[in-house]
Amino acid sequence: MILWEQLGINELSILMMLIVVFTVFGLLSRRLPRYITLFSLLWGFASAMFFDFTIGGGLFDFYQVNDSPRYELFDLLYYILFAPISYFFIYFYERLEINKKTFVWYIIGWSTLGVGANWLYTQLEIIHFHSGYILPYSFVVFLIVQTITGLYYELIKSRMLTLVNER
């Protein structure tokens, strides 16, 4: 892994976005139980890396992150950016009291935000699509990730509720 090939708009944008999302995270982080906070941070980071290592340049090669096909420090920082965003997904899931009737709309809303973020990332030269991959394909990826996140969170909540009721 190299630090970076050249410090450009993509690296500076990642740094600014990290400052913003971690500032907001710092303001909100005490509102959910610690185990949910840790779960959401880990899930956001892991899912970003999973998709990058599968469709981004691993099994398939549909996009490149940053300037270089080699891994840079800023690739890691890009993945870290997804950790607090995953927390925001769960935080607003609770604040908006998402239920079976609103679940689909919540997922669609977050998937739309994800596509908007991907568009911004392409404008800031953080992501470079190639091999026939186009922005609308990202909507399906976000639908999958957000649905799994929401369902897994519901599973964790129900298990914790069962544990609390057994005591």
Q: Which residue has the higher pLDDT, 162 or 67?
A: 162
pLDDT at 7: 73
Two structure tokens written together for 33: 């139980």
pLDDT in tens, 1-12: 445 566 778 888
pLDDT at 58: 62
Over range 49-72, report the average pLDDT: 65
Q: Which residue has the higher pLDDT, 91 or 125?
A: 91
pLDDT at 92: 96
- Asked if residue 85 has pLDDT above 70, the reply is yes
pLDDT at 68: 60
- Return the SS3 of 40: helix
Q: Which residue has the higher pLDDT, 47 or 102?
A: 102
**Beta-bridge mates of residue 127:** 65
Report the C-alpha gap between 140 and 93 in whole angstroms.
20
Report the C-alpha gap between 136 and 80 in whole angstroms.
24
24-38, 53-67, 150-164: range with lowest mean pLDDT: 53-67
pLDDT at 1: 47
1-10, 47-56, 58-67, 102-111: range with lowest mean pLDDT: 58-67
